[in-house]
C-alpha cells in the first residue's frame, strides 16, 4: 500500500461546496510521519487537509510508529514518537489560526510487568502534557500480510492476562486505551472490554470489517452479524466508538483503485448504514467522527469525508451533532 504521487490531483477531480462551514470539528484520529507508505505527512500536509474548508480546530494524534530513534532500547522506544509529535505540536502552536494537536495517543507494550509499564507511562507523561492514552493495537489475522501492511503479529492478544492487566492499569492514570482490530476479532475484543470495566476503551474503525481477499464480497452479507457484534460491545459502558477508518483499502470498497474518487453522496450511500447503526447502539454521546488520515486518503478526500459526515449527522438533533463532531472527543480525551 503506497500513496501515488498524484494523490492530491486525484482528489482534485471531486470538488464540493463545504456543508455548514461553521460547524466546529475535532478530528480525533490522524497520523503523522516523516516517511512511511511512500509518503510524507506532517503539519503542512495535515493543515492542507484540515484547511480545506471545514472548521477543524483540534486534532488527536494516534501512534503509528513514527519518529522512533534508531537504536532506541525497548520498551522505551515509543517515547521518541511522543517527543516527535510534541515538537510538531509546539511549532504548530505558533499558528493558532490553524488546527492544533490537542492530544497524543502513544504506544506502550501493555504486557510489560507493571513496574516497567509504569516507567514507560511516566516517560510519556514527561515527554508531553498532551499525552492522553495508549494504543497497543490487536489487529491480527493469519493472512494479514496479504491485505494489510506488516504489523501486529500476536494472535489472541486481547485474551492475554498480562495484556488485560496492562489495560486495567491505564484507568489508574485516567488514560484511555485505543484499540484497532479486524472483524473476526470482535468477540475477543468484547472479552477484553468486559475484563477492564474501569478503563475507557476507544474502539477504532468499526472493528474493521474486511472486504478483500478471502473476505471479498462478504462484507454486506455479514452486515447483520456485524450489527449484533457491535450491539453486544455497546453494552459495555466503558467502550466508546470512533466512526471512520472504513475507507481503508482493506475494507474493500474499491475506491482506491478508481480513476475518480467518491463524492460525499456516494460515500454516504455505501457506508451510511454502518454509521447509523453505531450511533443507534452506542448513542451519539459515545461516538465521535474520525478521519483516519492520511490512511483513508487513499480512498476519499478530506473535505469530501467531512461533507459525508455532515450528511450522515443531519438526521440528529443539535446536541447529538455536537457530540459527534467534537463533544465526545473533547470529553474522552480531555481536550
Comparing CA positions, the residue from 104, 21, 101, 87 lying closest to residue 57 is 101
35 membership: H or E segment, kind and range:
strand 33-36
Among the listed ranges 124-138, 149-163, 310-324, which one has the minimum average pLDDT value?
Answer: 149-163
pLDDT tens string 12-40 = 999 999 999 999 999 999 999 998 767 89
The answer on pLDDT for 1 being more than 50 is no
- The pLDDT of residue 2 is 52
In the chain, what are the domains?
A: 7-333 (3.20.20.140)
Euclidean distance between CA atoms 188 and 252, whole angstroms: 23
- The pLDDT of residue 150 is 67
Question: To the nearest 10°, the Cα dihedral for 19, 27, 330, 163?
Answer: 150
Helix 43-50 / helix 302-313 crossing angle, nearest 10 deg: 40
Euclidean distance between CA atoms 285 and 329, whole angstroms: 9
Question: To the nearest 10°, the Cα dihedral for 199, 294, 83, 238?
Answer: -10
Task: Indicate the burial class of 121 (C-beta count within 10 angstroms; 0-12, 13-18, 19 or more).
Answer: buried
Task: Indicate the burial class of 193 (C-beta count within 10 angstroms; 0-12, 13-18, 19 or more).
Answer: buried
pLDDT band (50, 70, 90) for residue 167:
very high
Euclidean distance between CA atoms 79 and 264, whole angstroms: 38
Q: Are 144 and 119 in contact (CB under 8 A)?
A: no
Q: Measured between alpha carbons, how far apart are the two ends of the chain, in Å?
A: 33
- The pLDDT of residue 335 is 97
More confident residue, 219 or 103: 103
- Whole-structure pTM value: 0.96
Average pLDDT, the chain: 95
pLDDT tens string 178-204 = 999 999 999 999 999 999 999 999 999
- The pLDDT of residue 153 is 73
Euclidean distance between CA atoms 50 and 41, whole angstroms: 13
The answer on pLDDT for 151 being more than 90 is no
Written as one string, the DSSP assignment of 286-316 is GEEE---BTTGGGTS-HHHHHHHHHHHHTTS
Euclidean distance between CA atoms 300 and 309, whole angstroms: 12
Among the listed ranges 7-16, 70-79, 80-89, 291-300, which one has the minimum average pLDDT value?
Answer: 70-79
Amino acid at each position: 500500500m503506497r500513496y501515488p504521487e498524484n494523490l492530491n490531483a486525484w482528489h482534485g477531480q471531486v470538488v464540493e461546496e463545504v456543508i455548514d462551514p461553521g460547524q466546529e470539528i475535532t478530528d480525533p484520529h490522524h497520523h503523522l510521519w516523516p516517511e512511511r507508505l511512500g509518503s510524507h505527512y506532517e503539519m503542512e500536509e495535515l493543515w492542507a487537509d484540515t484547511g480545506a474548508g471545514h472548521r477543524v480546530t483540534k486534532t488527536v494524534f494516534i501512534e503509528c510508529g513514527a519518529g522512533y530513534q534508531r537504536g532506541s532500547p525497548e520498551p522505551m522506544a515509543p517515547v521518541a514518537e511522543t517527543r516527535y509529535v510534541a515538537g510538531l505540536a509546539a511549532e504548530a502552536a505558533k499558528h493558532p489560526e490553524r488546527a492544533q494537536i490537542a492530544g497524543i495517543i502513544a504506544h506502550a507494550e501493555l504486557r510489560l510487568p507493571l513496574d516497567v509499564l509504569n516507567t514507560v507511562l511516566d516517560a510519556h507523561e514527561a515527554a508531553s502534557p498532551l499525552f492522553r492514552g495508549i494504543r497497543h493495537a490487536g489487529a491480527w489475522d493469519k493472512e494479514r500480510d496479504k491485505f494489510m501492511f506488516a504489523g501486529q503479529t500476536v494472535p489472541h492478544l486481547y485474551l492475554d492476562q498480562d495484556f488485560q492487566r496492562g489495560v486495567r492499569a491505564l484507568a489508574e492514570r485516567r488514560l484511555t486505551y485505543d484499540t484497532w482490530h479486524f472483524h473476526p476479532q470482535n468477540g475477543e475484543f468484547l472479552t477484553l472490554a468486559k475484563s477492564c470495566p474501569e478503563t475507557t476503551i476507544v474502539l477504532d474503525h468499526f472493528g474493521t470489517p474486511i472486504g478483500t481477499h478471502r473476505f471479498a464480497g462478504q462484507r454486506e452479507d455479514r452486515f447483520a452479524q456485524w450489527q449484533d457484534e457491535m450491539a453486544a460491545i455497546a453494552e459495555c459502558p466503558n467502550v466508546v466508538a470512533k466512526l471512520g477508518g472504513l475507507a481503508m483499502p482493506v475494507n474493500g470498497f474499491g475506491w482506491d483503485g478508481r480513476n475518480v474518487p467518491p463524492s460525499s453522496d456516494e460515500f454516504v450511500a455505501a457506508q451510511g448504514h454502518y454509521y447509523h447503526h453505531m450511533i443507534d447502539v452506542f448513542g451519539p454521546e459515545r461516538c465521535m467522527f474520525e478521519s483516519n488520515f492520511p490512511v483513508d486518503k487513499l480512498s476519499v478526500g478530506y473535505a469530501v469525508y467531512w461533507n459525508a459526515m455532515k450528511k450522515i449527522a443531519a438526521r440528529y438533533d443539535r446536541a447529538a451533532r455536537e457530540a459527534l463532531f467534537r463533544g465526545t472527543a473533547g470529553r474522552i480525551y480531555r481536550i
